[in-house]
Amino acid sequence: MTAHLLDGNALAQKLRAGFKQKAEILAAQGVRPGLAVILVGEDPASQVYVRNKVNACAQAGFHSEKYVFAADAAPAEVFAKIAELNADPKIHGILVQLPLPRHFDAEAVLDAIAAEKDVDGFRAENVGALMQGQPCFIPCTPYGAMKFFEEAGIDLKGKEAVVVGRSNIVGKPMAMLLMHAGATVTVCHSQTRDLKAHCQRADILVAAIGRPKFITGDMVKPGAVVIDVGINRLPDGKLCGDVDFQSAKEVASFITPVPGGVGPMTITMLLANTLESAERALGA
């Protein structure tokens, strides 16, 4: 068996074409979807992520603004900018690029974003609403991962799902979305006892642990759907996921690659949430 590839680049392109059409319709009504991105510090990876998000906005016909603060900036400066953007009707989504410097309370910064503009879905209020199945916005990475099941016609009802990685950004929201879709979910981490056995019974296996090639082919149930959320840089500079792609693809039925899998979908769903926020603003 060789798994079918869940191509994030292709799905992202398809969805973004639709977003551009919707943005044009909104623009004709006097509203242009607007995203503001805040970057603190000079982390090279963060700079790339921010640049990609700004470029994606331009391609979709969205308005975007970028605000860059020095790594030693006072938190009060960032809070003041967030307050300004909360009140700006041209901005429908606000994103603070993580990680933040150590002298910042990241949770407090994220919670300062108005709920109706929290297009990353990271506010505690939003996460709590997701638990009840009524989120204002779904966190972008899990949202993008769920789109693969929809596109491939994979019914999650009654399926056994295992999420390896329990972070508030990916692991827990992913588990909640899978549960709301009808799957039975187990959340594990790298030190979970009998982790291999848990993985081997999963119809849906999601790796979001941040360790290169941690999930190997012998941990995958034959015919499972494997979603690799991880992105790691190897010593030779190449990127890889948390799944050993070469061995896992010989066992799985569907699998996402790295790069070109969940990554492009994360930015795509950021656009989706920003568009939705703009539509709500127009409706209001």
Q: Active site residue: 81, 117, 118, 120, which one?
A: 120
Q: Residue 221 catalytic? A: no
**231 annotated ligand-binding residue:** yes
Q: Active site residue: 97, 172, 221, 249, which one?
A: 97
**167 annotated ligand-binding residue:** yes
Q: Active site residue: 53, 81, 147, 221, which one?
A: 53
Q: Residue 134 catalytic? A: no
**Burial (Cβ within 10 Å: 0-12, 13-18, ≥19) of residue 217:** middle
Beta carbons of 264 and 12 less than 8 angstroms apart = yes
**267 annotated ligand-binding residue:** no
Q: Residue 246 catalytic? A: no
CA–CA distance, 213 with 61 (Å, rounded to integer): 37
**138 annotated ligand-binding residue:** no
The annotation places the binding site for NADP(+) at 165-167, 231
Residues catalogued as catalytic? 53, 97, 120
* Binding-site annotation, residues: 165-167, 231
